[in-house]
Structure 1
């Protein structure tokens, strides 16, 4: 594909980083994913072929290093410097794009992956437990929480299962993304079934989405129509 034909560093960087999925792959690596399947779990709509191509392209420009055995994919110094770009892009999107959870933005798997990443281990109960997610229209998922580890599973690995989160995905997304508080998410249909003490504590077990604290810009009504 022909480049922009400009000396400008913005144009040259966009040629190698502006392709579909590329910065999402970088985002997953910045969040700690190293193996192919872990990266894809955070971007479930990318094909295996496309992910392989994007990783190869990032390696070709020196942003990613492939390490054996595994293999594992690690960000180089050049790749780690993309954290500022990815953060700025997310900040802009959280501030200026509509905060409604549109249907095309609703995907349970990456939300649960992010939720697992953002566990506040100091806030968890002492004994290991499993939270079952029964989100409307999606297969069940199970989140194992221990004082030192959080794991996302497709079945209960054999621990007590005192809590079940139920309801529409839109409500869970709205809470996680910071669009609403947990009480408002409940009014949208989200419920946490189980012992009252644990159910009330559940929202505090997580640090929330990294950009949840960014307030939306005050857009004039005629522009937001």
Structure 2
């Protein structure tokens, strides 16, 4: 089956070209999910509440056509297909970080219909939990995610507990995570207020506790 034609703004403009690729509803949220690593279709559907199966399948095809994602089959015994970002797709991390920072004030109040996943807090918290190189595990009631900060300042994150022993564990609630993401509270201030717990003895844990 030939790829279906993509809609375009037909404007010789960098912003328009970008929106040609990622401007459709759900596309950037799919990128958000794939930034944590390869995901199966069922995993994506579970963590994108509200998206229909038809729309999700269509967006994934469009993203593959645009060179943002690839699909590959896991070796036995899994033998399942997973979707993952290409290098071009991973370049959208700073775009998502900027959007999360811009949208953080909108989280002042959680609506009754709002779904929540722990790893959705990763984007707004990347700056707050990365003062030093190392591996941080962040724990909320809703679940866990982990952040890796490279010696070169590169940052990546993943869903679930840290792979191996982290340099620091940060435990907090969703309300505190929102305040950290908005920049109105630091991790060290949260520790002093008894709202954040940081365990670990290395440089990263000490920096998070404020020295």
User: What TM-score bracket applies, with the shorter chain setting the length?
Assistant: 0.5 to 0.7
Matches of 1:81 and 1:16 in 2, distance apart? 11
Go from structure 1 to structure 2 and tell me whether the alpha carbon gap of 1:173 and 1:40 turns closer, same or farther (over 3 Å shift).
farther
- Superposed, 1:1-225 pairs within 5 Å as 3-8=8-13, 10-40=15-45, 42-68=47-73, 69-76=79-86, 80-91=87-98, 94=101, 99=105, 101-103=107-109, 107-111=115-119, 114=122, 133-134=140-141, 141=143, 148=164, 169-175=174-180, 178-182=183-187, 184-185=189-190, 191=195, 199-201=197-199
Corresponding residue SS for 1:31: coil
Matches of 1:114 and 1:98 in 2, distance apart? 12
Higher helix share: 1
Structure 2, gaps ≥5 residues long: 1-5, 74-78, 146-159
Cα drift, residue 73 of structure 1: 1.0
Matches of 1:63 and 1:147 in 2, distance apart? 26
Cα drift, residue 89 of structure 1: 5.0
Structure 1, gaps ≥5 residues long: 125-130, 135-139, 151-164, 193-198, 209-225
Q: Deviations over 1:161-199 (max 9, x none)?
A: xxxx676x32232235644124655799x746xxxxxx4
- TM (norm. structure 2) is 0.53
Aligned length: 170
- TM (norm. structure 1) is 0.50
Corresponding residue SS for 2:91: helix
Cα drift, residue 148 of structure 1: 1.3
Give the superposed CA RMSD: 4.7
Corresponding residue SS for 1:50: helix
Corresponding residue SS for 1:108: coil
